[in-house]
Amino acid sequence: MRIGLVCPYQWDVPGGVQYHVRDLAETLRALGHHVEVLTPAEHEENVPAPHVTWAGRANPVPYNGSMASWQFGPVSANRVRRWLREGRFDVVHVHEPAPPSVSLMVCMLADGPIVATFHAASVRSKWLMAWGPVVRPWLEKIAGRIAVSDFARRLQVEHLGGDAVVIPNGVHVPAFAEGPPLAGYRRGSGTPTVGFLGRYDEPRKGLPVLLEAMRTVVGRLPEARLLVAGRGDPDELRALLSPDLAPSVTLLGELSEPDKAAFLRSVDVYCAPNLMGESFGIVLVEAMAAGAPVVAADLDAFARVLSDGPGGPAGVLVRRGDATALGRELVDLLASPERRAALAAAGSRRAQDYDWSTVAHQILAVYETVAPPGAGQVTAGDDDPADDPAEGPAGGPAGGARTGASPESVLPRWLRRGGHV
């Protein structure tokens, strides 16, 4: 099968969606499929893989408590058309198609079998409430919808219509389960170690809550240490540390993928104190695959990963934002090797459910449903105004869309003019 994957986020910036698309492409290619990826990046040389095509640069915009990538313009439109025409894909799989990005542009321009994965989740999205009716005509071209969690599914059903099958994010379990620890650190060495991984200057990741909890931990276990890995301003982090806590916190900075796996194999407990906006919690699965017992905030997405399953809980959930409860759970777990071992064993078993060897076949089943043999290839469309999904045959609004200089009228006109505003 010839498969086109579309990543809307900058390929050269670490992120869950980027990793998902990269790993899915690698897994599908290993299974014998022809796979190509279209993605933005800061610089073209940052996408050196031969099967990855540069869609141009994208501008970051706030979305769902994080940053999405705004990408519209004549250069990107022409690259999308060329990629679609030269790819001769049996199916195109876009990720996060709702924000104004290359994924949405593919939905606008492509004709043929389209699959979409929705990653984002929040309790309510004012942005999608306003933007959803604008993009819905193009999203209706999607033949197969996937959500990475029930929470992500509910968000897209509420704001964008339609339904989606839930297929979780994947993890290469052996890459995390096997290998040495991070140099200078070793699980069970006698120094109780808590790990945190993420953009520590992003409020929704909840690092200040963990730092407050660590005061309780260090008060009870003076030799305990917190290892912080990820991106952010080191000076801002150090400003959050009181003099009594600073010696117990080590900032590792951004880690490579192999070092990230080694880091997770090194900590006695992995902690995810996130406050909001998580659609799945891939790092929890990575930690479980690496044999680390997990303590996490009781977000819906995290609870799905840690609580569901026939084997019982695979981690500990703590009320989000409650530093006192978090500190108490960390102390109890660090002081109990037997409990840590039991949680690590349950987590390792649970992680197998998310291995790419399983997840990729679930995604392939969706491809085969929307693009059975003989269904025809995806094309770039002919930009015929009569076929414009946002206008009726006479150029009037379809589906109640507003007329005038609103996005649903401007964007079709821009597309009919070959991508030139």
The pLDDT tens digits along the chain (421 residues) read: 999 999 999 998 888 899 999 999 999 999 999 999 999 988 888 888 899 999 888 776 655 555 555 666 677 788 899 999 999 999 999 999 888 889 989 998 999 999 999 987 654 555 555 655 667 788 889 999 999 988 778 877 776 667 899 999 999 999 999 999 999 999 999 899 999 999 888 888 999 999 999 999 999 999 999 999 998 899 888 888 989 899 999 999 999 999 999 999 999 999 999 998 787 889 999 999 999 999 999 998 899 899 866 667 899 999 999 999 999 999 999 999 999 999 999 999 999 999 999 999 999 999 999 999 888 899 997 543 333 333 333 333 333 333 333 333 444 443 334 333 2
* Domain residue ranges in the chain: 2-170+357-381, 173-354
Token duo for residue 354: 């998310």
Contact 176, 290 (CB under 8 A): yes
Give Cβ neighbours of residue 117 (< 8 Å, ≥ 6 apart).
20, 93, 94, 95, 96, 145, 146, 147, 148, 167
pTM above 0.85, yes or no: no
pLDDT number for residue 58: 75
Residue that has been written with the tokens 């981690």 in this structure: 315
Per-residue DSSP letters for 16-39? HHHHHHHHHHHHHHHTT-EEEEEE
Short-list 228, 278, 277, 222, CA closest to 249: 228
pLDDT number for residue 129: 57
DSSP class of 203: G
d(CA 221, CA 214) in angstroms, rounded, equals 10
Token duo for residue 241: 């540390």
Is the domain defined by 2-170+357-381 classed in CATH 3.40.50.2000? yes
d(CA 415, CA 417) in angstroms, rounded, equals 5
Q: Crossing angle, helix 282-289 and helix 300-307, to 10 degrees?
A: 30
Give Cβ neighbours of residue 333 (< 8 Å, ≥ 6 apart).
269, 293, 295, 316, 339, 340, 343
Q: How far is CA 20 from CA 14, 118, 240, 418, in A?
A: 11, 12, 32, 32
Q: Do the domains 173-354 and 2-170+357-381 match in fold?
A: yes
d(CA 62, CA 204) in angstroms, rounded, equals 13
Exposure of 55 in the CB half-sphere (CA atoms within 13 A)? 32
Dihedral class, residue 383 (left if φ above 0, else alpha if ψ from -120 to 50, else beta): left
Which CATH architecture describes the domain 173-354? 3-Layer(aba) Sandwich (3.40)
Three-state SS for 100? Answer: coil
pLDDT number for residue 384: 39
d(CA 200, CA 272) in angstroms, rounded, equals 11
- For the sheet containing 91-95, what is the strand order? 52-54, 34-39, 2-6, 91-95, 114-118, 144-147, 165-166
pLDDT number for residue 395: 32
pLDDT number for residue 404: 33
